[in-house]
Amino acid sequence: MTSSALPEKMRALCLSAYDGRPESLQVTEVPVPKPEAGQVLVRVAAAPINPSDLMFVRGLYGVKKPLPAIPGFEGSGTVVAAGSLAGRLLVGRRVGCVPTPSTDGTWAEYVVVPLKQCFPLLPRLSDEQGASFFVNPFSAWALMERARQGKHKALVQSAAASTVGRMLQKLARKEKLPLVNVVRRAEQEAMLRKLGAEHVVNSSEPEFEERLRLICQELGVSLAFDAVAGTMTGHLARALVDGGTVIVYGGLSEQESRIHPGEFIFHQKKIEGFWLSEFFRGGFGKDQLRALVEVPTLLGKDFETPVRATLPLESAGEALRIAASDMTAGKVFFRPNAWGGE
C-alpha cells in the first residue's frame, strides 16, 4: 500500500476516562496519523493486552496521556509510510513496534512509531509473537541481567507462571542459576514442573512462608523478582539471606508492598523498583545494546508468548475481561485490521 492509497480515517479504541469501565473504551473513527521525520506509519496486525495496559486504562500506570487517548504499548504490523528517506527502507516490511509512551498506541488500525522503535521481524515469527517482542522479553532479560551483574547465586520470583515468569525460568536454566518459583494454584505448579522447574512453592498451601524461607535459605537466595506486591513483597524479603534485595516490577495484587521494618534494620534487606521504560530512557548504553542484540535471538524459542485469544477492537470489553481473568492461560490480542478494516 502506498502512502497515496492510505485511507483518511481509521478505527481505534479510544479511552475517554481512567476509570476501568468498559463504556470508557469505545471504537471510534479518527484520522489516520501522518508520520513526520524520523517516524513511520504501521498498519497494525496484532496488539497485545499486557498487565501494564490494564493498569493504564484504570489510571494506575506510570504514564497518563491526555484524553481521549488510544492505549496499547506494543504491537506488530507492516510499515506503510515513512516521514523520511531512512524510514522508506522499511516500507513493506513486517515489524514489531513500540510507540512513544506519551503518544497514541497500538489499539488501532494504524499507529505512528519512531523509526528507532521499529524492529524487522523474522518470517518465522507470527504476528502475535512479533507484537509481544518488547515488554515481556526485554523485562525478563533486564531482570536476569541484574542477577548476572550482582553475581547472585540463587533467585526467587513471584507470579512464576506468568509469561515473564516462564521466560525468567528459561533464562535461569541457561545461566545454571537455581530459581525458586512462587505460584498460587496447583495447576500452575504442575505446568512449571513440566517446563523443568525444580523449586516450586504454592502460596495457597499451609506453611507457605516457612517452606519458602527454608528453601531460599538452603539455596542462599539473595535476589527476588516480585510481580505481585502486597504481602508477597514481605514474604519474599523474609525468605532472602541477609543483605538480599527484592526488585518489584509489577503490582498484580493492586496492593501496597508490605514488609516488616526489621528486615531493613536487622537484616539489611533492600527493596527496589524496575520499570522497563526507565531501563531504556537514558538511551542505548552497553546493557541496552546487548539486550537489542540478544533478545531477538530468543523470540519464538525461549521467549514464546502463549496466545489465549485474538479479538477485534469491537470486542474490547470481552477482551479486557478475559485478559484480566487468568493471565497464566495466555495473552489476549487485538486484531485491528482483521474484521472490517481496510
- Look at residue 74 and tell me if it is in a domain: yes
Q: 145 and 123 in one domain?
A: no
C-alpha–C-alpha distance, residues 49 and 136, integer Å: 12
25 and 98 in a common domain: yes
- Please tell me the total count of domains within the chain: 2
CATH of the domain at 239: 3.40.50.720
Question: What's the pLDDT score for residue 85?
Answer: 86
Q: Would you write out the chain's pLDDT as a tens digit for each of its 342 residues?
A: 445 588 999 999 999 999 988 899 999 999 999 999 999 999 999 999 999 999 999 999 988 999 999 999 999 999 999 998 888 989 999 999 999 888 999 999 999 999 989 999 989 899 999 999 999 999 999 999 999 999 999 999 999 999 999 999 999 999 999 999 999 999 999 999 998 899 999 999 999 999 999 999 999 999 999 999 999 999 999 999 999 999 999 999 989 999 999 999 999 999 999 999 888 876 668 888 898 889 988 887 778 898 999 999 999 999 999 998 877 888 999 999 975 443
| Residue 283 belongs to a domain | no
Q: What is the pTM of this model?
A: 0.91
Q: Are residues 223 and 267 in the same domain?
A: yes
Cα angle vertex 62, ends 130, 11, to 5°?
A: 50
Same-domain status, 176 and 98: no
**Which residues 6+ apart lie within 8 Å of 126 measured at CB?**
none
Residues 9, 111, single domain; the answer is yes
pLDDT per position as a tens digit, 155-184? 999 999 999 999 999 999 999 999 999 999
The answer as to whether 227 is a domain residue is yes
Whether residue 30 sits in one domain with residue 141 = no
285 domain residue, yes or no: no
Quote the cell numbers at residue 155.
533467585
The domain that contains 115 carries what CATH number? 3.90.180.10
Is residue 249 among the annotated active site residues?
no
Tell me the C-alpha distance between 342 and 330, whole Å. Answer: 28
Q: Tell me, what's the pLDDT at 283? A: 67
Q: Could you give the angle at the alpha carbon of 306 between the alpha carbons of 304 and 307, nearest 5°? A: 125
Instruction: Please check whether residues 204 and 247 belong to one and the same domain.
Output: yes
* CA angle at 314 for the pair 311 and 320, rounded to the nearest 5°: 60
Q: Of 18, 61, 110, 249, which one is the catalytic site residue? A: 61
Say whether both 141 and 52 belong to one domain.
no
96 near 134, Cβ under 8 Å? yes
For 187-211, how does the pLDDT look when each residue is reduced to its tens digit (9 = 90+)? 999 999 998 899 999 999 999 999 9
Q: Are residues 128 and 149 in the same domain?
A: no
> Which stretches of the chain are assigned E, i.e. beta strand?
9-15, 25-31, 39-48, 75-82, 94-97, 110-114, 118-120, 155-157, 179-183, 199-202, 223-226, 245-248, 270-273, 307-311, 331-334
Alpha-carbon separation of residue 240 from 189, 222, 309 (angstroms):
21, 5, 38
Same-domain pairing of 81 and 212: no
Range of the domain at 61: 3-133+302-334
Q: Are residues 8 and 122 in the same domain?
A: yes
Kindly state whether residue 93 falls inside one of the protein's structural domains.
yes
Same domain, 160 and 274: yes
